[in-house]
Structure 1
Amino acid sequence: MKAIDKGSLAGAATIALAAMVAAPAPAQAQAGQAALPEQRDDTTVGTEIIVTAQKREERLQDVPLSVSVVGGSLVEQQGGINLENAQYLVPTLNFRKSGTSINQSLFLRGVGTSTFSIAGEPSVSTVVDGVVFSRAGEAFSDLVDIERIEVLRGPQGTLFGKNASAGVISIVSRRPGDTLGGYVDAGYFFGEGNEYRVRAALDLPLGAGAGLRLTGFVSDYDGNLFNEAPGVSRRVNGYDRWGVRGLAVIEPTPDLSITVIADYRRAKDDCCAEAIGTVPANLAAQVLPAPQGDATRRVRQNLVTATNEESYGASVQIDATLGTNTVTSITSWRRYDNEEIRDGDWLPRPFANAGLNELHDVGPQTGKTFTQELRLTSPQGGLLEYVGGLFYSWADTERTFTRDVVLCTPAQPVLTACDAPGIVVTRPSGTATFGSTFKNLAAFARVTLNITDQFRLLGGLRFTHDQLDVFHIRRTALAGPGIQPNFDQGVFDRYQQLVAAGVAPNIAQGQAVAASNGVPFTAKTTNDNWSGMAGAQFDLTPDNVLYATWTRGYKGPAFNIFFNLASTGTNVIEPETVDSYEAGIKNSFLDGRLVLNLSGYYARYDNFQANNPDVVAGVVVTRFTNAGRISTRGAELDLIFAPTRDLSLSGGIAYTDARVDQFRQPAGNVTGVIPPGTRLAYAPEWKASLAGDWRLRTGGAVDFGVNAIASWQSEQISQFDANPAVRAATTIDGYALVDLSLAVIDARDRFRLAFQVRNLFDQSFAAAITSGGPGGSYRYIIPREADRYFGVTGRVSF
C-alpha cells in the first residue's frame, strides 16, 4: 500500500486555506452571492437559508436538528456528478464505492448499510423532490439542475420512514421561472481521461399560474484506469450518460398548486475495475501489472466490469389549502433497471494453476416502485404546530444472475495457459433467479408545542407495518469454483428435515441437493414498529437557539438473498433499531452574516444490519447479518460567513467515534467475532471541509471570480472484518483535496467562463480496499478524484 506523506497533506491544506478566498459552502447554498439568472437560489433571503427538513418550509436556524445544505450552484462549480462528490462537501457524509453502482452505499455519522442482498435496504434514505428512492443504486444518478441538497444527520424515521435510521439526503430540483429563459452549460475536462459534458435548462411560461422547466444533459468520460488485457487495451472506469427531466407547476387558484415531474436517464458505465494493489502470493504476479497500492492505475482483465442502467419515473404533488391547514398528496411511480457485468478473477485469461480460474458474472435486475404520501400541515406560529399523515410504499425487484467459470486441469506447477497441450477445460455455469417485494404502510405525526415565544416542546410518533416477500432458485449444470449446487424449495425442505433429525447436512457435498424439485424457495416476514422523537427547544435570543432531542429510529427486516444462497443463510435478518440523543446550539451573529452551529450526539444501534466477509464455495463473499450492537458519538461544527454579497466563506468539521459494542457471530460464519471497540468501516475519526467564493467586480464589462474548496479526512477502515491484519491492510490513509476555479463573469450575468483544477496537489488515495484478490492480494478501487485533472466550463444564459 502506498504511504501518503502526512506532512505534504498538512502543507497542502495550509497553503489552500491561506490562499483561498473561499467557496459557497456546504451549509450556505450560495448565501450572499450574486447568482446567474438561471442559478436562482431561492433557499436564501439575505443570509437566511430555507429548508424543508421537517416537511415544511423553515429557516435552517429554526430547525432542531443537524442539517447541512449544499447549494446547487456549488455542486455545478465543483464539477460534481452525483452524491459521491457530495462527500467532499459534508464532513459527516461518507461514500462506499463498489464495482458497480447497485452495490454502493452512503454513510452518515459512521453508520450505513453495505449489502449485495436484493432484500436489504439502506440506512441513509435518499428523497428526490419528496419521493423516497427505495434502492441505494438509484440514488446515485446525475445531479443536474438542482436547487439544493439537504443532509439530515441522525435518525429521521418519524417523518421520512424506515430506511432513514442513519439519516436522509433530500434533493430538491430547481423550479420553473416566471419568464422565458434558461442556460446552456458545456465543459471539457482532461488529465487522466477526457470528459465532455453538456447541460441545459429552459423555462417555458404556460400562462397565468403555470410554468414548465425542461432539463437535459449528456456526458462522456474515458475513465481513469487503463486496461491492458489483449482485446481490450483502453481506458476504463468511465461513463456515457444522458437524461431529460420536465417539471411543471400549475397554480389554478391561490389555494391550489400542482407539481408534475417526469424524468428519464440512460447510463453505460464501464466502472469500476478493481486494481490489484498488492503482490499476489501465487503465479498471478507474472501476468498482472506491477502493484503500487493506491497509486495503481493499470489492470489486465479480459472482461470489462460495467454497469448499464435505465431509470425513469413520474410524480404528482398536490398542495391544497384546507381552512388554515395545507393538505399535500405525493404520488410516484418509478422503474429502475440495472445490469451488472463483473470480472471476478481480475486476470487477463484463465490458467491451469491453483486459484487462477476465470470467473465472470452478469446480473440484470429490474425494479418497480410505487409510493403514496398524504399529509396535513398546520400553519406556523400557533400554540400547536403539526405535520401528520399516511405513507404507503410498494417496491418489487427481480434479478437473474449468471456466474460462468473456466476451470482448467490438471493444476500445473508453472504458469500455464488453458490452451496448452494436455490441459482439460471445463466450463461450470450457474444461474439464479431471485427477487424481493417490500410493502410498507405507515402513519406519522410530528408536533411542536409553543409554550412561550422562547420555549417549545417537540414530539413525534410513527407506526410502521412492514411485509417482505422473497424468492430464490438456482439451477447449476456443473459445480465449480464460486458455484454451489442447486438451491430451491425442495433443497431447503430436505435441509430442514435433516436438521430436525439431528443430522448436520453438508449441502456443498450434495446431501440435500437430491431433493431439488424445481420450485423456487420462498419466505416471508412481517413486522410492526413504533418509533418517534421527543425534545425541547429554547431561544436564548432570537439569534441563539438551544435544542435537545431523543429519537428512536427503525429499519425493517431483511433477508440475505443473493446468488450463492444456501439453506443456512435463509434466516430472517431482524429489524435494526436506534436510540439517538442530540443536543446543539444554533448561533447567528452580525445580522446573520456569521452562522456558527454546534451539535453533539450519541446513538446506539441494536440488531445492526451489516455485511461481513465470508467464504462460500471457495470465493470471498459478504454475508448480510444482524451484526449486534454498535454505537456512534461525536460533535459537529458548521460555519457560514458572508461579510459582503461578493465574498463568502463556510465550512465544517466533524469528530466521529463509531465502534462495535458487542458483535454477534452468525451461525456458520467463518470469519470470527469482531472485538468490541473496533471502529466501523467508512467512519473516519476526523473530517473537515472549507469552501469559499469571491467575486471581484471591476465596474467594466466583465468581473472575475475565484472559487476554492478544501476537504480533509483522517484514515478509515474499508473492510469491516474480524481479522485485525485484514482491517489494517484495508485501511485507507488520510488525505486532503483542494479544488480551485478561476472565472470570467459577464457583469450582467449573461455568461461565465471558468478554468478549474481538481485535486490541486495530486493526492492519491483509494475509495475502497477489499481482500480476496488472486493469491490473497488486495483489490483497490481508485476514484477519479485521486488524480489531478483540469477543466474548462462555459455557461451562456438567456
Structure 2
Amino acid sequence: MLGVFYLNEQADSDRRVTIGQDMSTIVALPAGSPFPFAPVGLAFGVTAGSVVPAIANIETENVAGFGSLDFDITSRLTLNLGARYTHETKDIVFNLDGSRSGAFRIGSLDNFRDDRTDNKFTPTAGFTFAINDDVNVYAKYARGFKSGGWNTDFLNVGQIATGFDFDTETVDSYEAGLKGLVLDRRLRFDLAAFYNEFSDFQQFQFVSLGGGTTVLQLRNAAKVESQGIEGSISLQVNENLRLGANAGYVDATFDKFPNGGPSGQDLSGNELPSPDTTAALTIDYGVPVAALGGRIDFFGEYSYRSNYFSGATNDPLYERIGSRNLVNARLGYSN
C-alpha cells in the first residue's frame, strides 16, 4: 500500500484579559498599604475594565508520503514493514497590546513572527506468526512523533523573551503479544507487553519567570520511559450472554527531567500523571420478550483505577488523586 497525505490548517487564538474592579483597586493603593502590589503606588494603577488582548495566528502545512508491505516468509510467518516521511512547517504571528496593563507591565508586541520545520522519517517493522488459523503471536517496532509549537495562552514580553515554544516529541515503541479465538471461537483473548521511550516529551509544567511570577506552559522533559502489560478476554457464554474482563499495568516515569519543577528542581524519577493499574469486568445480557414484542438488554460494568499523581512534581498533598471504583449499569428495551 502506498499513499500521500496533505494538510493545511489555520488556527487562531484570541485571549483577552480584563482587569477587574478588585484588582484595579488593590494596584492603585498608595505605597505602604498591606497588599502585594501596593508598593507600585498610584501612578502605576490600572483602570477597571481595561482589556489586554493576546492574539496568535498559526498556519500549519503538513505533507507526508507513506507505505506498508506484508511479506509472507512462510505460510505461517509474515514480515510487516512500513514507513512514513513527513515534512511539516508552522508559522506564527503574535500580537500583544499591553498598553493598558499599568503596574503589570505586560509589554506590547506588533506582529511578532516565528516559524519551525520538522522533517521526520518514521518506520515500522514487525512480524506475525500464526500458531493456527485462530491464534497468532506478534512483535513490532514503531517510531512516531508529535510536532512542536508555541504556548499561545496569555503571555507577556518576558515569557516570549525566555522562549515560549516547545520542541517536537519523538517515541520509539516496542510491543509483543498474543491474540486469538478458542472454544469454537466463543472466547476471544489478547495479551501484550510494551515498552516506550520518549525524547523531548511534551509536558505541562509550572515555569518561574522570576520576581514571584509563575506560569503554566507546555515544555519538554528530556526523556520519559513507560513499560507495562495489558490484556483482555471476552466470552460468548450463549446467544444471550457475553462476559468480559480487561486489565493493565503501566510503569511510566520521567527518566530525565532536570529543572522540571516550578523552582527548577530535578524531577527525574518522578511518575507521570497516569494510574499504574486499571481493570474492568463487564456483563452484557439480552433476551427477547414475546409478551412485550421486543427485547430487553442489560449491560453492567465495574472498573477500577489506582491512585496517581495529577502533576509532574508528585506532590503528595496537592497532586495525589485517590483510587476509584466505579459501577455502571444500563437497562434498555427495543423492538
TM-score range, shorter chain: 0.7 to 0.9
Pairing 1:439–2:75 present: no
1:168-187, aligned counterparts within 5 Å? none
d(CA) in 1 for partners of 2:221, 2:87? 23
In structure 2, the CA distance between the partners of 1:527 and 1:740, relative to structure 1 (3 Å rule), is: closer
Pairing 1:633–2:227 present: yes
Once the two structures are superposed, residues 260-283 of structure 1 have per-residue CA deviations (whole angstroms, 9 ceiling, x without a partner) of xxxxxxxxxxxxxxxxxxxxxxxx
Aligned-residue offset at 1:604: 0.3
Pairing 1:713–2:335 present: no
Aligned to 1:394: 8
**Bigger mean CA offset, 595-604 vs 469-478:** 469-478
Once the two structures are superposed, residues 138-176 of structure 1 have per-residue CA deviations (whole angstroms, 9 ceiling, x without a partner) of xxxxxxxxxxxxxxxxxxxxxxxxxxxxxxxxxxxxxxx
Aligned-residue offset at 1:404: 1.2
Pairing 1:469–2:88 present: no
1:538-549, aligned counterparts within 5 Å? 538-549=129-140
Identity %: 25
Letter of the structure 1 residue corresponding to residue 117 of structure 2: T
Q: Does the 8 Å contact 1:560/1:570 carry over to 2?
A: no
- Greater percentage in strand: 2
In structure 2, the CA distance between the partners of 1:437 and 1:484, relative to structure 1 (3 Å rule), is: farther
d(CA) in 2 for partners of 1:477, 1:426? 12
Letter of the structure 2 residue corresponding to residue 444 of structure 1: F
Aligned to 1:33: none
Once the two structures are superposed, residues 412-466 of structure 1 have per-residue CA deviations (whole angstroms, 9 ceiling, x without a partner) of 769xxxxxxxxx9842531111121111100001111112221100111110101
Root mean square deviation of aligned Cα: 2.4
Once the two structures are superposed, residues 333-382 of structure 1 have per-residue CA deviations (whole angstroms, 9 ceiling, x without a partner) of xxxxxxxxxxxxxxxxxxxxxxxxxxxxxxxxxxxxxxxxxxxxxxxxxx
Residue from 174, 181, 185 that aligns with 1:588: 181
Letter of the structure 1 residue corresponding to residue 5 of structure 2: F
d(CA) in 2 for partners of 1:576, 1:436? 19
d(CA) in 2 for partners of 1:526, 1:581? 27
SS of the residue corresponding to residue 645 of structure 1 reads: coil
1:705-784, aligned counterparts within 5 Å? 705-721=297-313, 724=314, 726=315, 728-743=317-332, 745=333, 749-750=334-335
SS of the residue corresponding to residue 520 of structure 1 reads: strand
In structure 2, the CA distance between the partners of 1:575 and 1:425, relative to structure 1 (3 Å rule), is: closer
1:355-504, aligned counterparts within 5 Å? 387-406=1-20, 407=23, 408-409=25-26, 410=29, 426-427=47-48, 428-479=50-101, 483-488=104-109
Q: Does the 8 Å contact 1:544/1:588 carry over to 2?
A: yes
In structure 2, the CA distance between the partners of 1:476 and 1:740, relative to structure 1 (3 Å rule), is: same
Q: Does the 8 Å contact 2:258/2:267 carry over to 1?
A: no
Aligned to 1:688: 279
d(CA) in 2 for partners of 1:698, 1:434? 60
TM-score (structure 2 length as normaliser): 0.86
Residue from 645, 658, 683 that aligns with 2:239: 645
Pairing 1:554–2:145 present: yes
In structure 2, runs of 5+ residues without a counterpart are 36-44
Q: Does the 8 Å contact 2:267/2:312 carry over to 1?
A: no
In structure 2, the CA distance between the partners of 1:562 and 1:572, relative to structure 1 (3 Å rule), is: same
In structure 2, the CA distance between the partners of 1:727 and 1:530, relative to structure 1 (3 Å rule), is: farther
Q: Does the 8 Å contact 2:221/2:254 carry over to 1?
A: no
Residue from 565, 571, 576 that aligns with 2:169: 576
SS of the residue corresponding to residue 166 of structure 2 reads: coil
How many residues were matched structurally?
Answer: 314
Aligned-residue offset at 1:561: 2.8
Residue from 667, 673, 676 that aligns with 2:268: 676
d(CA) in 2 for partners of 1:561, 1:713? 33
TM-score (structure 1 length as normaliser): 0.37
d(CA) in 1 for partners of 2:204, 2:152? 12
Letter of the structure 1 residue corresponding to residue 287 of structure 2: L
d(CA) in 1 for partners of 2:180, 2:326? 29
Q: Does the 8 Å contact 2:99/2:108 carry over to 1?
A: no
Once the two structures are superposed, residues 635-690 of structure 1 have per-residue CA deviations (whole angstroms, 9 ceiling, x without a partner) of 00111111222111123111011110001437xx8432343221111x10101122
In structure 2, the CA distance between the partners of 1:561 and 1:727, relative to structure 1 (3 Å rule), is: farther
